[in-house]
């Protein structure tokens, strides 16, 4: 057992180290914390990693029909979206 890995609690932010991250992930999983898919990078994130920002994203349902869903964005992605909560740009009229 490596003693350099700190003890994690449910709700802690993920650490950088690989071993520490797995330790952290196990604690979150054991606590029943459900991960949510970030609508920007599509990576699974714990609630504490998500920002307040939500974006609309186009998904396809099982029949291939486009559906627009609003979903959360992780804190890393939120910093790359300066106006994520602003009104969407006007759709160009293509006739
Ligand atoms: Zn993300």
Helix (H) or strand (E) holding 52: strand 50-60
Q: What is the pLDDT along the chain (95 residues), one digit of tens a residue?
A: 556 778 999 999 999 999 999 999 999 999 999 999 999 999 999 999 999 999 988 889 999 999 998 999 999 999 988 665 555 666 777 76
Give me ligand 1 centre to Cα 5, in Å.
26
Q: Is the torsion defined by CA of 2, 48, 33, 73 positive or negative?
A: negative
Give me ligand 1 centre to Cα 94, in Å.
31
Domain-wise residue ranges, the chain: 18-78
Instruction: Name the residue among 92, 82, 33 with its Cα closest to residue 55.
Output: 82
The predicted pLDDT at position 65 comes to 95
Give me ligand 1 centre to Cα 78, in Å.
7
DSSP 2: -
Phi-psi region of 42 (alpha: psi -120 to 50; beta: other; left: phi over 0): left
Task: Report the chain's terminal Cα–Cα distance, integer Å.
Answer: 66
> pTM for the complete prediction?
0.66
């Amino acid at each position: 057992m490596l003693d350099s890995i700190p003890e994690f609690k449910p709700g802690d932010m993920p650490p950088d180290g690989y071993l520490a991250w797995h330790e952290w992930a196990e604690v979150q999983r054991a606590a029943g914390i459900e991960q949510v898919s970030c609508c920007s990078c599509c990576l699974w994130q714990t609630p504490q990693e998500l920002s307040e920002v939500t974006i609309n994203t186009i998904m396809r349902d099982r029949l291939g029909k486009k559906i627009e869903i609003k979903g959360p964005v992780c804190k890393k992605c939120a910093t790359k979206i300066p106006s994520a909560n602003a009104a969407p740009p006007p759709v160009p009229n293509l006739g």
